[in-house]
Amino acid sequence: MLMKHLSFKYWWHYLPIILIALVLCFFFEEPYIGLWLLLAYWWLLLGLIIWLIIVLGKSWDIGGTHKYICFGLFGLEVLALLILLLVRIPAYKCNPDKMVTHYEKKKPEIEELIAYTHSALDSGQNMYLEFQHGRVSIFNTSNYSYLNDEDYFDDNRLYVSSAQKRKLMASVGLDEREFKHIKKQLKRCKCISIDTNFPDYCNIGYKRVALGQYSFRLYLNQMTEEQKQEALSDGHFIPYDDTMLLKFAGGAAGPDEFSSDVKKDYLEKHPYPVPEKVDSLYRKTEHKEDTVPYNLCDVKPTFQDGTLGDFSFWVVNHMDLGSVDMSDVISTSVNVRVLLAKDGQILDVVGTGNHPDSPLTKAFIKAAKDAPKWTPASKDGAPCKAVIDIPVHIDYRLPATN
């Protein structure tokens, strides 16, 4: 019955409706790139809209089922446009507050993903792995780049070929079970990629906006003061805590980094925090405000007229490892924060980083508290309390039996 009310001579009435539906589908998939193309080819869309208006007018004159079909499809497109403007585009956008909310919600899963990947990869190997629509879209390793490989992609040039995926997995020591587990954990984290830079840090890709990517950079140990200062001055990063940075890196189109206003606004609303364990250390002093970070001291405290490394060396050589299982350990790291009194006496030491309560960290802290007095720090010509972040790399070149 429907065909009786339709004439094939009006088939062209459906063309602008179909073309606009395709445009809307593209906007739903990539709103930012869709907007960029709209600005570049606005005249084409304007012509398409004029064509649609003419078609709707003629369909109204024709009447019958043909009119109802055209206006019904047009109504669905208006509804899709409203969903795009009110739901899809706001959800597509990203900002530091959204990133932090997601990170706090998925923090255990993200940390589990990093730990598993670290143990699954062969020693010294790193990789960048990204998924799109459940398939591998980018896969590079520390000893391989796809740039010179014609067989890297599948026939559609959108995803990594199965043969290349197996070759890349083997190059970093991943088997099929481990690869699927990493993919599953990324899905649990609601993230799209993992970029390992072990033993220093790992980037977890949160989402892509146009060609840029928002991600979380998580350090395996507490950041040094130099790394913190670099993050504060680099537009690609916003510091969140002592082990995590928010990161945005752009692509060929669109912004390349966080805007200075976005970064400034976020840091004003969320000042760079003092970790809870360290804050309790501060509260043991009478005046928190007169405790000065090491890098801000006019005259920096020194240990036995040496460097921070000399303090670490002294502590390592006075550690009691009787209760610490050091079998199979060649090298490891601990991170501590030291609070000095105005006279250079050590007031307290706490563990920081990812393993603040490990047996090795506790052994280091116990020895550090017995260290000799430091040469005191000063600020504005007066002695001051000082707080120092010290990352310590411990290297034991001893047989496992020792």
3-state SS string over 316-371?
A: HCCCCCCCCCCCCCCEEEEEEEEEECCCCCEEEEEECCCCCCCHHHHHHHHHHCCC
Distance CA 290, CA 387 (A): 10
Confidence of residue 324 (pLDDT cuts 50, 70, 90): low
pLDDT exceeds 70 at position 400: no
DSSP letters, 103-164, are HHHHHHHHHHHHHHHHHHSPTT--EEEEEETTEEEEEEETTB-GGG-TTSB-TTSSSB-HHH
| Burial of 145: CB neighbours in 10 Å, binned 0-12, 13-18, 19+ | exposed
Distance CA(236)–CA(245), nearest Å, equals 10
In the block, which residue shows the tokens 């007169």?
A: 290
Confidence at residue 145, expressed as pLDDT on a 0 to 100 scale: 59
pLDDT tens for each residue of 37-52: 777 788 888 888 898 8
**Over residues 158-162, mean pLDDT:** 76
What are the tens digits of pLDDT across the range 285-322? Answer: 333 456 788 878 888 899 988 888 888 889 888 888 76
The pLDDT confidence band at residue 186, using thresholds 50, 70 and 90, is: very high
Closest CA to 237 of 247, 228, 225, 227: 247
Top pLDDT among 244 and 306 is at 244
The single residue listed with the structure tokens 């899963």 is 109
Residue 159 pLDDT grade (very low, low, confident, very high; cuts 50, 70, 90): confident
Q: How far is it, in rounded angstroms, from Cα 329 to Cα 394?
A: 10
The answer to whether 127 and 197 have CB atoms below 8 angstroms apart is no
CA nearest to 318, candidates 277, 364, 284, 359: 364
Confidence band (pLDDT; 50, 70, 90) for 394?
Answer: low
Cβ neighbours around 43 below 10 Å, total: 8
* pLDDT > 70? residue 330: no
Rounded to a whole number, what is the distance in angstroms from the first to the last CA of the chain? 90
Tell me which of 80 and 271 has the higher pLDDT. 80
Give the class (CATH, top level) of 276-395.
Answer: alpha beta
Residue 191 has pLDDT above 90, yes or no: yes
**In the prediction, which pLDDT does 93 show?**
72
Query: Residue 25 corresponds to which tokens in the numbers above?
Result: 């589908």
- Percentage of the chain modeled with pLDDT above 70: 78
Backbone dihedral angles phi then psi of residue 251, each to the nearest 5 degrees: -110, -145
Indicate yes or no: pTM above 0.85. no
Whole-number pLDDT of residue 245: 93
Q: According to the model, what pLDDT value does residue 196 have?
A: 94
Q: Residue 343: pLDDT above 60?
A: yes
Report the amino acid identity of residue 263. K
User: Looking at residue 167, what is its pLDDT?
Assistant: 86
What's the Cα-to-Cα distance from 84 to each of 53, 91, 92, 99, rounded to whole Å?
A: 21, 10, 10, 22
**Average pLDDT, integer, range 215-226:** 88
- What's the pLDDT band for 134 if we cut at 50, 70, 90? confident
Q: Which carries the bigger pLDDT value, residue 343 or residue 157?
A: 343
Helices 96-120 & 176-189 angle (0-180, nearest 10): 160
Domain coordinates of the chain in residue numbers?
Answer: 2-92, 96-269, 276-395
Mean residue pLDDT across the chain: 79
pLDDT higher than 80, residue 205: yes
